[in-house]
Amino acid sequence: MRREHPLRILRYSMKNLWLLIFPIVRGAYHFASREDVEAWLHGTWFELLILLAIFGYGWLNWYFRQFDVQDEQLYVRDGILFTRQRFLPIRNLSAMVIEKPVWLRPFGGEYLCADAAGGLLEATDILLLIRRKDEKLFRDAVPRLRQGKRHHYADKVGIGRTLLFSMIFSSSFSGALYLAIFWFQGGRIARDLIREFQLTERLNNISATLASRLMGIPPAAVAVSIFILSTWLLSFIANLIRYGGFVMESDKRMIAVRSGLVTRRHYCLNSRMVNYIDIRQNVFTKLCKIYSLAVNCPGYSSRRGVIPICMPILIRKELEETLPMIFPGSRLSKCKLRPPWHSWWGYVCIPVCMAIAVIPVSAILLRLFPAFDDVIRFFRVMLLIPLLWKLIVQIIAFTTTGVTISKGHACIRYCRGLTFHTIICDSDRIVKVRIHRHFWHHFTGKCHVLIYLRSESPRYCTLIGMQYSEVKEQLKEYL
């Protein structure tokens, strides 16, 4: 039996730091004079006793928490008075992650996360802080990748594609550019607003220098634009650090992924446990015919905001060649069930109605507040930009949405937010199909289809404006 890294004692001790409130309260009554301070110092035995209790309890937790690999099972035992034992069979392992944070490397520490399809939703089944020498114990327990041309596939993503992926999928990309344009183009209005709140004098010399070179745009507008672009840059750098050095290998049983420039992560995924393949695009990548290949697998990048990438950037030809090599039997299929042409209004109605509403609302505001003419006109234009962008997204979604389920294979295309998804999975990964109809759908013969997929947390694909009779016929097995 083995124990975790001794640094884990600090983590277990942190849970009881609330006990320090007692020496803090006691000390608060001993700082009125020098004599009181001396009296407090003479009573430090109480503080030492509290600290000893905190770290002593942390040490006991560390000492009684043991792990090992026995009979092809991950075994963890913990508990001081009441012992809890956990067994995770290797054959049921969906993902194992070895994470090497930069701050743990000097101490020879690593995190190990092991997950199976069961257990709590989006929670790691086993999380250990192990020594570097114990890594081999877990690596030997997982089946090794088969080398050779027949079963083995490997690819290393170059720096150019990593930069492109990080740029496209930075969380603040579209918003940062939009808000930066807002402040640069609306410099005069921003100047008046900021002057009213007396913020101009707080701007630094760099902003003032840049403002003088950018055709007299107020320093505040420049400062805010720099801040917004900096938030995107931070997101871009975070993605670059996380997905830099991306290497993927696979055979028919396992998928191994290595990534990370600062915190290195090694993933081992069980191919049988992959719920579905998720091919992602946005408007830019769709026009350029670029794809990002992600997977849904319990334990793999299940944290919010982290994309479970299998291959960051692929062109169409590479996708068609790579997909069956990584996931034998998987393929892209044309959609047999699609929204009819007269369902187009259901896709574009929200952005169109909102864009139309902006015009009369702004006209009313212009009559009520003529002194703010420039401000109202400017905000009207800036509100129309994202609505028109969403309209473009919805038009593309109308032409691409659909589903095909045949011969144990499913291919689902839909749009969520500003991202286009193509889901590929076995038909048994579909948990249920739900039909949603508004009252007007009974007159038009339309419906919305929600296809729920097997996943750690509820995941469903929404198909808008489908023909109700066709859905009942082609998806009757799931209704």
Would 201 be classed as within a structural domain? yes
Would 388 be classed as within a structural domain? yes
Which residue, of 64, 94, 112, is where some domain finishes?
Answer: 64
Would 119 be classed as within a structural domain? no
Other beta carbons within 10 Å of 478: 15
Q: Say if CB 110 and CB 98 are below 8 A apart.
A: yes
Q: Name the stretches of the chain with pLDDT < 50.
A: 174-175, 178, 193, 197-200, 203, 216, 218, 220
Which residue, of 193, 225, 242, is where some domain finishes?
Answer: 242
Q: How many helices (H) and strands (E) does the chain have?
A: 16, 20
Give the number of residues written for the chain: 479
The DSSP bridge pattern shows strands 254-259 and 402-406 to be: unpaired
Determine the Cα–Cα distance for residues 390 and 349; give it in Å rounded to an integer.
11
Would 187 be classed as within a structural domain? yes
Query: So what's the pLDDT on residue 140?
Result: 84
DSSP string, 404-418: EEETTEEEEEEEETT
Query: So what's the pLDDT on residue 209?
Result: 58
Would 471 be classed as within a structural domain? no
Count of structural domains, the chain: 3
Query: So what's the pLDDT on residue 349?
Result: 94
Which residue, of 217, 242, 267, is where some domain finishes?
Answer: 242
Would 191 be classed as within a structural domain? yes
Would 255 be classed as within a structural domain? no
Q: Which domain covers residue 58, as residue numbers?
A: 2-64
Other beta carbons within 10 Å of 245: 14
Distance of CA 314 to the CA centre of its chain: 20
Which residues are within 8 A (CB) of 358 and not within 5 positions of it... i.e. 6 or more apart? 380, 383, 384, 387
Query: So what's the pLDDT on residue 139?
Result: 86
Would 372 be classed as within a structural domain? yes
